Structure 1
Amino acid sequence: MAPCTQLQEKYGPVFTFYMGPRPTVVLCGYEAMKEAFTDNAEAFGGRAPIQALGDTISKYGVVSTSGERWKQLRRFSLTTLRNFGMGKRSIEERIQEEARFLVEALQETQGHPFDPTFYLSHAVSNIICSIVFGNRFEYEDKDFITLLELINTAFRLMSSPGMQIFNAFPCLKRIFPSPHRRLSKCFDDIISFILQRVQMHRESFDPNCPRDFIDSFLAKMEQEKENPVSEFHDMNLAITVFNLFFAGTETVSITLRYGLLILLRHPEIEAKVQEEIDRVIGRNRSPCMEDRIKMPYTDAVVHEIQRFGDITPVVASHLMTRDTTFRGYSLPKDTVVGVFLTSVLQDPQYFETPKKFNPGHFLDENGAFKKSEAFLPFSSGKRVCLGESLARMELFLFLTTVLQNLNLKTFQVREEIDILPVVEGIGKRPPRYRLSVAPRWKITSYI
């Protein structure tokens, strides 16, 4: 990420660099991002091709496409996700239930140190599973574990420096095929898993009573079966479900993992959050989203975990849909445009101590929650993350449920715990760590 920071310091909030034969215009800071993606959303609303994804995933689904295909699939996906409760009480209840399963699983570690990656990724993925497949999986389910391992491997490969070189120089795939073949194999196996689930749905499908996202898509396919140019077919279904899993599993679970590490380093912050939980929620019911408005400090901590973690410092590149003049520069149609999101989340005009973890960034002088325009971890504009409201619910409910029931422990000296991110290609991750947990109460009645 250092090169982008250095280029921003030298050339300002808009500059061009070449990685391979094609130029990329990079935007830095909140003002430039807002002016492009919000004020000129239509012109900046295309999606640049991602060579590493391969032809199938690049051409289908909702994340990598543009034009009419993207518009139809995004509209359908948003409507269907809302119908199945995204941002509503029904999905909140699913997250609450999964949070209780997560607490139970963590309690079973019996105070022994463990890596939280396994538990958090399983819990978060089960929310997507319940929406897409209509059911959750037990944490020890072999098929579920295999799916999550594939997603994790694909995510790491996609973020790797080598894969970014393949994006810039696609011809290298013929010379050094091994990394790209590994990624393609992961993608193929994930899509195969999804298509098996689609076939299982077909065998019990009732168009009058859709049970989940897949059923809803199948019903839409049935409605448009006479349309020869319909966007509702098996490949768009498989890749859209793939997009939901890929975007909705790793990012939220990594953010939660980062949050627990930060709280290990700052037990005083953990204690303040728990005091607020005890005062507002107590111990005898699950946290709910209505609690958030009465919990400004906890809400500020959750926001600051996302801001400080900055796990996707470079958002997926956009593509100009028409010739546009932007800040005195001519951007022809099909120009690739990227955003250095770190420069937004660490914009010193909006965050007083941008490189330090500080919940005060989201609190006013009276301790009330304070919004920040530059808090855009999900990007902005027409290409804003499809599952933003779902991710916000998951982060708040999972974190508060864990802290309501468990104290976080470590055998390290707290002051020596490193919370600076580890840069992996174009992504950031918390350093690997182990923690242990201890029950806060002998009995929690709702678990």
Structure 2
Amino acid sequence: MGVRQHSLDHAAMAQVRHLAGPLVVPADLDPVVERLGSVRFACLGEASHGTHEFYRWRGELSRRLIEEQGFTWIGVEGDWPDCWRINTWLRGPAEDARTAREVLAGFARWPTWMWANSEVADFLDWLRGHNLARPAERRVGFYGLDVYSLWDSLREIITWLSEHAPDSVGDAHRAWQCFVPYGEDPHRYARATRLVPLSCENDVVALLAEVRARYRSTGEGDEGAFAAAQNAEVAANAELYYRTMVRGDRTSWNVRDHHMVDTVERIAKHLGPGAKGLIWEHNTHVGDARATDMALAGMVNVGQLLRERRLSADVALVGFACHRGTVLAASGWGEPECVLEVPGARPGSHEDVLHHALGRSAVLVFPEDRTGPWLSARRGHRAIGVVYEPAQEGRNYVPTVIGRRYDALVWLERTRALLPLHHESRPVEPELETEPSGF
């Protein structure tokens, strides 16, 4: 068996070498830029939320796709209200003299380092300059796809209704008052719904229906109404998410990823048929769940759902991976960030094969035929979350058929930690842990 495994690894390494091109300068991204140019949705992953090279190369790839292939918006694994403020700044008037670092200083939800970091700030400063050189209607947008911002979204809805539909503010206040006893703590609300058969579901669903109606009546091109309508979607789905999360099963993961894909489709509809979106999320959301053990647990994700809902020619999935280095993460849920060592990949994993086959960073674009000893083999594929314990590294490998999970892979031999813009403090509104097995 050992000899057979050794020969299979040599065959896998040969396939890796055949597919790989160098990754040293932005021009080396040419093959993946060409591959993604014709799609409407390009999902760009990351193997951790705290690695400089993942953010840097994803930013370089996004710049080229915006400049050369006409991509018009970015959706990220972030909250709608926070990202809408970035979107407003990015697409706003030149008189707004703030820098990206000043705008990102407003990110307060743990883990803030996911977006409030130097790498994102540098990209956003470039994008702001790119936008200012273009007409307002052709400026690239930036949107949050996630579901966590229940209270922030309710506040935004109340503000918008007060200005544009004061006769409907009552629905928003009823929803707000329903949540008041829980002190903006999702844990308390979720636990309470387990103890008694009462929830705020009816109030947020009624609010959603009212804001949707107001959005339709204003004309669906209205930016402020669109933001309010999305905040109402967030409020309704966040209530469902937290109520489901406390049961301890994995259904809440599906609630979250369905919400993110629905948000992608609402943004695409709002921006029109010519819009082309870049989706920045963790590999565990981007890479097709059907190619991993997530499927065995009944879990879906963004990459899978987009492939299922859209023509395959409209969607491309790009994974990111590394062999070793450092990462910015927390040692426990809700704890401050720290720089942690990422050890060399486990023997037999996809990362181990890539390391021994290449020994350098590379770009791999997968052919239409995804057979072969590496593309079709099921191996462990490392995924580091916002919480990371290097001593328990084995838990971070997701069984993956790489050729089914992605359409291309960006491989980094050695990486280093992100540089946060500010240090983490304990959150006022902690989030329930949501990551799937092996993440």
Report the structure, 1 or 2, having the larger strand content: 2
User: TM-score of the superposition, structure 2-length normalised?
Assistant: 0.28
